[in-house]
């Protein structure tokens, strides 16, 4: 700046005029250089804006069903988006291409940012903006959906009232729609094939169908009773349907672990179920008790009761979950239909649900589950496995009489830690879960990353959570 002032002073005092000519040339060069620098900085800022909107356009295309023919929808979305950002779009002609081999979308835009000196003695600034989005995973991904099917899923999705409502206003109905939205996202990526298991849980997990397909030697009573002692020695697959357990007979899971550690955690055993018997509970033979007081407590004069393995009588539906495990399938419609068939009932044993969700992802449990989609892949970097756990309230049920309420959460934490140690990505969803309760804290810790825990309060937030999980498990990512 001092140099420029000196030149101006010389210009004013010059008598020959030659200094004025020299200064004019020098001043034009200097100011042109300064102007170009200002223009270039402005152009870079505009380029960053266009890059951001181009990235967003590719992600948008990946969520819809027009991914394989992206030119028209991509151009419209990008130009509308840029116009809202006050970017001149008259001379912008973006191109979008789809690569069927890797399932990626590439977008390219040539821009000429508006400048102060464009068209002058310096060349117009031209820039190219390129973005590419491709799937994080190509091939099969394995997803275990551990879904709350307790009685509170009959409560309203629209408020916190603890009263039963009818479809389509139940929490269960919103869950059905949310799961459907998740698979809409995943199946928009043709390079990804999800193998999905569904583990509904209430007071426990219904494993009756697993039981009838496996040797009874793999199972034992919760406190060591034999299958005969539990009254299920003659249980046969032909007697069992999801909606009607023959004579009330059924098998429900209890907690399975090696030991409780001194710090309160549990050592979870992922070894083959044949290596150690599986603790179970059975409802046994049902009986009907009738009494006038039952109409007050249960809405009927008669209730179903059963005699437990240690001789106590309990209300018939106590152990019973109305939907069993759906083993891995690659048919999304089967999953959608199955979640739609849920009949919520009972308490909330999320720790048992989480354990059985994890078991469905373990390759050496394949023969135990008889997965329709085939054997789960080995734990390796090339295989993506996801455990998705959803609940709408506090975990309040345990089947192992030695476990306290705190033990339930310790067991749950041990299951989550075991899953993460196997490089399984864990997502958790807490519907209307009260902040800073044990369940809220446990769900956050279970995910291992606050970005993978979704505390949600209503229908829309629940849908958004599962859509985001769908994007994580099968959607596109910006790669360049």
pLDDT digits (tens, 9 = 90+) for 61-76: 876 567 788 999 999 9
Q: What pLDDT band is residue 119 in, cutting at 50, 70 and 90?
A: very low
pLDDT tens-digit readout, 120-148: 444 567 889 998 887 666 567 899 999 99
Position 321 scores a pLDDT of 67
**Looking at 41-45, 139-143, 326-330, which range is the least confident one?**
41-45
Question: How much is the pLDDT for 418?
Answer: 95
The rounded distance, in Å, linking the Cα atoms of 345 and 341 is 13
Phi, psi of 343 (to 5 degrees): -125, 90
pLDDT bin (cut points 50, 70, 90) of residue 37 is low
| pTM (2 d.p.) | 0.71
Q: State pLDDT tens for residues 214-260.
A: 877 788 876 666 666 666 666 655 555 433 444 456 788 888 888 88
| pLDDT at position 241 | 46
* 236 phi and psi angles, rounded to 5 deg: -130, 150
Average pLDDT over residues 331-340: 92
With bands split at pLDDT 50, 70 and 90, how would you rate the model's confidence at 347? confident
Cα 451 from Cα 226, distance rounded (Å)? 45
| Per-residue pLDDT band at 187 (split at 50, 70, 90) | confident
How high is the pLDDT of residue 354? Answer: 98
Burial of residue 387 (CB within 10 Å: 0-12, 13-18, 19+) is buried
pLDDT at 4: 47
pLDDT in tens, 47-63: 888 989 998 888 778 76
Confidence of residue 19 (pLDDT cuts 50, 70, 90): low
Residue 309 has pLDDT above 90, yes or no: no
Higher pLDDT, 112 or 369: 369
Q: Residue 462 — very low, low, confident or very high, per pLDDT cuts 50/70/90?
A: very high
Closest CA to 281 of 264, 256, 301: 256
Whether the predicted pLDDT of 34 surpasses 60? no
User: Within 10 Å of residue 61's Cβ, how many Cβ atoms?
Assistant: 25
Per-residue pLDDT at 124: 67
Cα separation of 400 and 384, whole Å? 33
Convert 62-75 to b/e letters by CB count within 10 Å (16 or more is b). bbeebbeebeebbb
Whether residue 389 is predicted with pLDDT greater than 80 in this model: the reply is: yes
Asked if the model's pLDDT at residue 193 lies above 50, the reply is yes
The two tokens of residue 142 are: 């394995």
Paired residues of 428 in beta bridges: 389, 453
pLDDT over 90 for what percent of the chain?
36
Contact present, 174 and 457 (Cβ < 8 Å) = no
Domains with residue ranges and CATH for the chain: 2-135 (no CATH), 139-283+319-478 (3.40.50.410)
Cβ neighbors of 299 (< 8 A, separation 6 or more) are none
Q: What is the pLDDT of residue 323?
A: 86
Instruction: For residue 42, report the phi and psi dihedrals to the nearest 5 degrees.
Output: -65, -40
- Work out the mean pLDDT of the chain and round it to a whole number: 80
Rounded to whole angstroms, the Cα distance separating 280 from 262 reads 25
């Amino acid at each position: 700046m001092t140099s420029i002032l000196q030149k101006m002073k010389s210009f004013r005092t010059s008598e020959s005029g030659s200094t004025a000519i020299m200064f004019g040339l020098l001043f034009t060069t200097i100011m042109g250089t300064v102007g170009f620098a200002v223009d270039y900085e402005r152009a870079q800022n505009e380029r960053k804006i266009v890059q951001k909107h181009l990235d967003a356009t590719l992600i948008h295309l990946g969520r819809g069903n027009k991914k394989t023919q992206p030119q028209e929808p991509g151009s419209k979305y990008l130009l509308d988006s840029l116009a809202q950002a006050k970017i001149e779009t008259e001379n912008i002609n973006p191109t979008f291409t789809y690569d069927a081999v890797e399932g990626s979308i590439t977008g390219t835009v040539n821009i000429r940012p508006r400048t102060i000196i464009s068209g002058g003695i310096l060349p117009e600034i031209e820039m190219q903006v390129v973005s590419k989005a491709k799937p994080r995973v190509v091939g099969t991904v394995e997803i275990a959906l551990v879904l709350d099917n307790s009685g509170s899923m009959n409560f309203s999705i629209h408020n916190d009232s603890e009263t039963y409502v009818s479809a389509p206003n139940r929490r269960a109905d919103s869950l059905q729609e949310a799961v459907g939205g998740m698979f809409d996202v995943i199946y928009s990526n043709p390079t990804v094939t999800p193998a999905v298991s569904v583990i509904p849980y209430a007071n426990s997990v219904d494993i009756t169908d697993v039981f009838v397909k496996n040797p009874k030697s793999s199972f034992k009573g919760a406190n060591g009773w034999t299958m005969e002692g539990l009254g299920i020695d003659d249980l046969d697959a032909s007697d069992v349907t999801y909606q009607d357990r023959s004579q009330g007979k059924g098998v429900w899971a209890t907690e399975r672990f090696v030991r409780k550690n001194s710090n309160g955690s549990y050592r979870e055993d992922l070894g083959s179920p044949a290596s150690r018997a599986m603790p179970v509970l059975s409802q046994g033979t049902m009986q009907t008790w009738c009494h006038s007081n039952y109409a007050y407590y249960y809405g009927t004069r008669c209730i179903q009761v059963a005699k437990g393995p240690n001789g106590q009588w309990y209300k018939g539906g106590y152990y019973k979950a109305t939907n069993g495990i759906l083993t891995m399938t690659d048919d999304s419609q089967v999953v959608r239909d199955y979640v739609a068939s849920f009949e919520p009932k009972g308490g909330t044993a999320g720790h048992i649900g989480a354990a059985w969700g994890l078991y469905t992802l373990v390759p050496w449990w394949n023969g135990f589950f008889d997965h329709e989609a085939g054997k789960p892949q080995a734990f390796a970097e090339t295989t993506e496995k996801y455990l998705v756990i959803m609940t709408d309230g506090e975990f309040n049920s345990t089947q192992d009489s030695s476990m306290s309420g705190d033990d339930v959460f310790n067991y749950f934490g041990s299951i989550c830690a075991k899953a993460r140690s196997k490089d399984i990505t864990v997502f958790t969803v807490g519907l209307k879960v009260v902040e800073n309760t044990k369940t809220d804290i446990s769900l956050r810790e279970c995910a291992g990353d606050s970005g993978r825990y979704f505390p949600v309060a209503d229908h829309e937030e629940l849908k958004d959570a599962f859509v985001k999980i769908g994007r994580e498990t099968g959607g596109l990512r910006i790669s360049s």
